[in-house]
């Protein structure tokens, strides 16, 4: 799988562009639209011929406007622009790795969100590959610690945010355990981003329900690994290990997981890796029905009955890595 420049996904005929990537001297000469906070409708913010001034960017930032939109006709130009700016950001040695990662994470979560919303597998794959390739460059710098990583992540639970966080954590744990070669870390990151792709086939009502799911709803939600597997299994740009992450990340060492109740080493090592950080990430994220657990409390919960279902060595390694900070 190769990273691609097709990262800016059209949203209702418009391409979202992160304000964080705009700079006055380099804003493409295209019409820019802004989303009205109340109606959600797009209205013209700046016509192509009007120059963008530094105070415009400051005002947008102060108003917490994270995204502007460009019309369909400019989609190609905007893709090239976004990619060039992200390449610059990631390679900019004048700012710390930690800060670059923080900014990258802001931008790519928005990009992935619009891709997942569109629900097209091809586009999700392309965006995931691009995002993974950029993230790997920063995550593999020794200046980034596990503590930095945790503090830079978003902690509100949404499928896309969760998937990105899991991807970053999988790379960090795989590196620490030397589970894969450096050249395979990219594939691990892509697998992490894709692990919940099957949720695209589960209704939002069930995914976002704030009360406890009924048994019937739970059964529907638990089909997401199988949905994900079916979505990806015939593709030639995904490896067996990546596919197993999608299919087996809710399996447990004890055989009490789903979709099939695989036991111990029947579960692929990459899927076991994903299980550990997936459980952890869920506990340290805010949910509609509870606040996130502090790190030490999350580990106390994982040390309880959950621990038997997780790969012991991987879990212990993750705990050490996070608690030592
Ligand atoms: Fe999942």
CATH number of 96-324: 1.10.3210.10
Cα(first)–Cα(last) distance of the chain, in Å? 33
C-alpha 99 – ligand 1 centre gap (Å):
29
The pLDDT-based confidence of 11 (bands split at 50, 70, 90) is low
Spatial contact of 162 and 196, defined as CB atoms under 8 Å apart:
yes
Quick one: tokens of 296?
């030490």
* Average pLDDT score over the chain: 89
C-alpha 143 – ligand 1 centre gap (Å):
30
pLDDT the model gives residue 10: 45
Tell whether the model's pLDDT for residue 294 goes beyond 80.
Answer: yes
Q: 3-state DSSP helix/strand/coil percent for the chain, to nearest 5?
A: 60, 5, 35
C-alpha 247 – ligand 1 centre gap (Å):
9
C-alpha 249 – ligand 1 centre gap (Å):
6
Q: Which residue has the higher pLDDT, 141 or 191?
A: 191
Q: Which residue has the higher pLDDT, 288 or 217?
A: 217
Spatial contact of 261 and 255, defined as CB atoms under 8 Å apart:
yes
C-alpha 248 – ligand 1 centre gap (Å):
9
C-alpha 267 – ligand 1 centre gap (Å):
15
Could you read off the pLDDT of 75-114 as tens digits, one per residue?
778 888 888 889 999 999 999 999 999 989 988 887 788 7
C-alpha 278 – ligand 1 centre gap (Å):
8
C-alpha 36 – ligand 1 centre gap (Å):
33
The pLDDT-based confidence of 238 (bands split at 50, 70, 90) is very high
C-alpha 83 – ligand 1 centre gap (Å):
29
Range(s) of the chain covered by CATH 1.10.3210.10: 96-324
Angle between helix 295-303 and 269-283 (nearest 10)? 130
Nearest residue to 125 via CA among 234, 15, 21, 202: 234
Could you read off the pLDDT of 144-169 as tens digits, one per residue?
889 889 988 988 878 889 999 999 99
Residue found by looking up tokens 């020794």 in the block: 142
Tell whether the model's pLDDT for residue 191 goes beyond 90.
Answer: yes
C-alpha 127 – ligand 1 centre gap (Å):
19
C-alpha 207 – ligand 1 centre gap (Å):
11
> How many CB atoms are located within 10 Å of the residue 57 CB?
17
Residue 30 has phi, psi (to 5 degrees) of -135, 160
d(CA 212, CA 199): 18
C-alpha 170 – ligand 1 centre gap (Å):
14
Residue 193 has phi, psi (to 5 degrees) of -65, -35
Beta pairing partners, 35: 42
C-alpha 109 – ligand 1 centre gap (Å):
18
At 139 the three-state DSSP class reads helix
C-alpha 325 – ligand 1 centre gap (Å):
27
DSSP character at residue 66 = -
Query: Vertex 96, ends 91 and 99: CA angle to 5°?
Result: 95
What is the per-residue burial (b if ≥16 Cβ within 10 Å, else e) of 262-272?
beeeebbbbbb
pLDDT the model gives residue 12: 58
3-state SS of 294-313 is: CHHHHHHHHHCHHHHHCCHH
At 61 the three-state DSSP class reads helix
pTM score > 0.95 for this model?
Answer: no
Could you read off the pLDDT of 248-284 as tens digits, one per residue?
999 999 999 999 999 999 999 999 999 999 999 999 9
């Amino acid at each position: 799988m190769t990273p691609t420049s097709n990262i800016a996904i059209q949203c209702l005929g418009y391409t979202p562009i992160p304000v964080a990537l705009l700079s006055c001297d380099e804003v493409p000469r295209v019409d820019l639209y802004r989303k009205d906070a109340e109606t959600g409708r797009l209205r013209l913010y700046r016509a192509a011929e009007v120059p963008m001034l530094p105070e415009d960017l400051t005002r947008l930032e102060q108003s917490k406007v994270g995204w502007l939109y460009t019309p369909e006709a400019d989609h190609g130009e905007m893709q090239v622009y976004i990619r060039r700016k992200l390449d610059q950001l990631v390679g900019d040695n004048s700012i710390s790795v930690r800060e670059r990662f923080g900014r990258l994470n802001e931008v790519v979560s928005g990009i992935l969100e619009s891709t997942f919303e569109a629900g097209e597998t091809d586009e999700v794959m392309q965006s995931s590959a691009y995002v993974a390739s950029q993230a790997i460059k920063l995550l593999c710098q020794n200046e980034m610690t596990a503590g930095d990583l945790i503090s830079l992540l978003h902690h509100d639970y949404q499928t896309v945010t969760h998937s990105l966080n899991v991807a970053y954590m999988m790379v960090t744990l795989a590196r620490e355990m030397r589970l894969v070669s450096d050249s395979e870390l990219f594939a691990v990151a892509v697998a992490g981003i894709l692990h919940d792709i099957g949720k695209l086939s589960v209704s939002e009502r069930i995914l976002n329900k704030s009360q406890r799911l009924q048994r019937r709803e739970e059964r529907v939600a638990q089909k997401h690994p199988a949905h994900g597997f079916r979505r990806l299994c015939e593709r030639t740009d995904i490896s067996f290990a990546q596919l197993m992450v999608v299919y087996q990340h809710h399996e447990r060492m004890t055989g009490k997981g789903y979709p099939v109740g695989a036991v111990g080493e029947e579960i692929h090592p990459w899927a076991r890796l994903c299980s550990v950080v997936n459980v952890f990430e869920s506990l340290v994220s805010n949910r509609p029905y509870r606040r996130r657990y502090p790190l030490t409390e999350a580990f106390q919960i994982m040390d309880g009955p959950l621990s038997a279902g997780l790969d012991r060595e991987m879990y212990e390694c993750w705990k050490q890595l996070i608690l030592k900070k």
